[in-house]
Structures are given as C-alpha cells and as structure tokens.
Amino acid sequence: MDVIESLHSRSDDTTPVPRHVAIIMDGNGRWAKARRLPRIAGHKQGVEAVRRVSKAAREQGVEVLTLYAFSSENWRRPEEEVRDLMGLLRHFLKNELKDLVAENVRLRVIGDYRALSGDLVAMIDDAIAKTSVNTGATLVIALNYGAQAEIVAAARRLASAAQAGEITADAIDEAMFSDALTTHGLPPLDLLIRTSGEQRLSNFLLWQAAYAELLFVDTLWPDFDAAALADALAQFGRRQRRFGGL
C-alpha cells in the first residue's frame, strides 16, 4: 500500500487522520515516584490509560493503534516488576476481551510472545482467535518485541526462501521485506508518539517508522487521555508530509 494512501479524512472536515498510530507508553514509573507510590501503581494506571486511549483512538477515526507494552529489553528489569507486568497483562486480557469482541475490535500481537509463560500464551492465542473475525479497528500489542530482532528474522526468512529457490535475491525489494515483518498487512505507520518527554525510539518499529511523523510529548503515560490524543492528531494534521518530494 502506498504511504500516501494510508491517510483518510474526518467525516466532518478535511483534516487528515492517521490510519495507523503507534505509541511508546513511557512514564509509568515516574508517575508513581512523583506520588511516592510503588512502581506497580504506575503500571496499573498505565493499563487504565490503555483502555481510555484505545477507545478514544477508535472514536477519533484511527484504524490501527499499536502499543509498545513490553520490549525484549524489559526482561532486564527486576524480577518482581516483570512478574507484576505479566499479572497486569493477564488482568487486561481477562477483563477486556469481552469488550473487544463487542466493539468489533481485532487484536493482534507482534513480538515473540510465545516466550512468555504458557498460561499467558494460551490467553493471548484465545483473544486473537476470538477477535480474528472482527472488522472494525485493530489493536496491536507489542510483547517481547524488538525491532532489530524483527528485521533480522525477516532477513533470515527471505534468505532461506532464496536459498530454497522460492524467490531470487534480485526480487527482494522494500515491499517484499515489509511483508516479511510481523506488521505485514497493516497500513503504513503514519504517526509514532512517545510520552514522558524522552526522545528516542527504543528499538520500536524501526523499519515501519521510516516515513512516520514522530511526536514526543512531556505527558506521562498514566496521564495521557482522549484530549492528549486529539491534540496529537491535530498536530499530525498540521504537518506537511512530502515523502522525499517537494
């Protein structure tokens, strides 16, 4: 799909709305620290932010929302925190699946989530299966995800296909490489937001962000809401995207 085709307009005006928005959800720990609360309190509020922002994205016309929930580097965090994060993921899947089905939302997971515990993998597979026929918005959760590993895996798949004679090396182009990534079939990434004031991609959607608009906001993730998302979309709408042209 051409990157320019990834935009559409609001029904009430001509402001372009990004079809695909991704968010690096940062700041849970700092939110808790500022309130002298344990880090888990910040993560719990972060889950609440996921709920309201996911709903707001659908209401504001975003077709695909991709959230960076757990990176492959997050395993370096203290064992207790990782355990708490996995517990919150279980809680989210258990409590949100019914609403995802009812609201016609398709769930998709990118990253090596099968490295998680068996019960979590089963819950994720069940949620994906039960929402697979939904035709509304798509919620993509990045779990145990790292963009560099994703790119390497795609390169290996294409190399194996070439070695087996299924494709030729000369046939490999940007489109074929994109189709080998875990985000295959999704609209091109239009807008990538990072909360909490940090200004780096942290190994998230490196290939997909090639022509995405980047927006770094100071708001900590637990405080990010529908109004903050609307402001981000408005900023996106005011930008001129040339994709290398004039």
Question: Is 224:48 a contact under the CB 8 Å cutoff?
Answer: no
Catalytic residue list contains 26? yes
Annotation marks residue 203 as catalytic = no
**Catalytic-labelled residue, pool 2, 12, 26, 134:** 26
Is 9 among the annotated ligand-binding positions? no
CB atoms within 10 A of CB 49: 25
The answer on whether 77 is annotated among ligand-binding residues is yes
Which residue in the list 2, 12, 13, 74 is annotated as catalytic?
74
Residue 46 annotated as lining a ligand binding site: no
Q: Is 114 among the annotated ligand-binding positions?
A: no
Q: Tokens 């500022």 sit at which residue?
A: 34
Separation of CA 74 from chain center: 16
Residues 6+ apart with CB under 8 A from 39: 28, 29, 32, 33, 81, 84
Instruction: Say if residue 134 carries a ligand binding annotation.
Output: no
Q: Is 207 annotated as a binding residue?
A: no
Q: Which residues contact 57 (CB under 8 A, 6 or more apart)?
A: 21, 65, 137, 229
Residue 224: phi, psi to the nearest 5? -75, 135
28 is in an annotated binding site: yes
Check whether 146 is labelled as a binding-site residue. no
Distances (CA, A) of 161 to 28, 155, 174, 216: 42, 10, 16, 39
- Per the annotation, does 157 bind a ligand? no
- Residue 72 known to bind ligand: yes
Rounded CA-CA distance 117/150 in Å is 21
* Binding residue numbers: 26-31, 39, 43, 71-73, 75, 77, 194, 200-202, 213
* Binding residue numbers for Mg(2+): 26, 213
Residues classed as catalytic:
26, 74
* Binding residue numbers for substrate: 27-31, 39, 43, 71-73, 75, 77, 194, 200-202
